[in-house]
Amino acid sequence: MDQVPQPAPLPEMDHGSPAPPPAAKSAKPPKPPCAIHAAAESVGRCDMCKKTMCEVCDFAFPGHIHVCPVCVSAPPPGIAPRRTILSITGIALAVVGMAMWGALVTGAFSQLNPMVTGYMILLPIMGAFACSLSAIDRRLGNSALLWISAAISSLVTAVVLVTSLIGTLNR
C-alpha cells in the first residue's frame, strides 16, 4: 500500500482572469406596448377587454379592477343590448298605456266594463315602469334612452293618475 495521498486540488489563484459576467437573465423580456399608446410600455391588462394598458390608460377601481379608457367610456357589450331592449319596451308600453288612456277619454271603451279599461291602461304603464326601472343600472352609466324611458313612464303615470283623480272628483 504505497499509495500516495493525492493532494487536494488547490483553488486556482488566477487573479488575472476577469470576474465572470453577471447573469444575463436579469434583463426581463420587454413588456408589450399599450394598446392605445404604442410608444408606452404596458403595466397591465384591462379586466374587460384584456387589452394592454399603460400607466396613463389604467383606470383603477376599488376591488383591484383595472379598466382601459375604451371600456370606461363604453358599457361592456352583452349588458347594453339587454338594457336597450328593456328601455325600448318600457317606452312602447308607456305609449300603449297612453293610447289606451286616450281611447278611454275619447269614449272608445264606453261599452266596456270600467274595471277592464282600468287594467288595460294600468298594466302597460306598470310594465313600462318595471322595464325602465330594471334597465337603469346604478353601477354603470345609463344611456339617454334609459332616462327617456323612465321619464316617459313617470310622465304617463302622472298624467293618468291626475286625470283619473280629477275624473273621480268631478263625478
- Binding site residues, Zn ion, CB under 5 A: 34, 36-37, 46, 48-49, 54, 56-57, 68, 71
Closest to Zn ion by CB, 50 vs 82, is 50
If one counts every other C-beta atom within 10 angstroms of the C-beta of residue 149, the result is: 30
Grid cell in block for residue 49: 377587454
Residue 42, C-beta contacts closer than 8 angstroms, at least 6 positions apart: 31, 32, 33, 34, 35, 52, 53, 54
63: phi > 0 → left, psi -120 to 50 → alpha, else beta; which?
left
The least distance separating Zn ion from the CB of residue 136, rounded to whole angstroms, comes to 23
Helices 144-170 and 114-135 pack at an angle, to 10 degrees, of: 150
Q: Tell me if 117 sits within 8 A of 106, measured CB to CB.
A: no
DSSP state of 53: E
Closest to Zn ion by CB, 36 vs 126, is 36
The least distance separating Zn ion from the CB of residue 43, rounded to whole angstroms, comes to 9
The least distance separating Zn ion from the CB of residue 138, rounded to whole angstroms, comes to 21
The least distance separating Zn ion from the CB of residue 46, rounded to whole angstroms, comes to 3
Q: In whole angstroms, how far apart are CA 160 and each of 42, 93, 124, 127?
A: 56, 14, 12, 15
Closest to Zn ion by CB, 37 vs 44, is 37
Closest to Zn ion by CB, 72 vs 145, is 72
The least distance separating Zn ion from the CB of residue 49, rounded to whole angstroms, comes to 3
Closest to Zn ion by CB, 57 vs 152, is 57
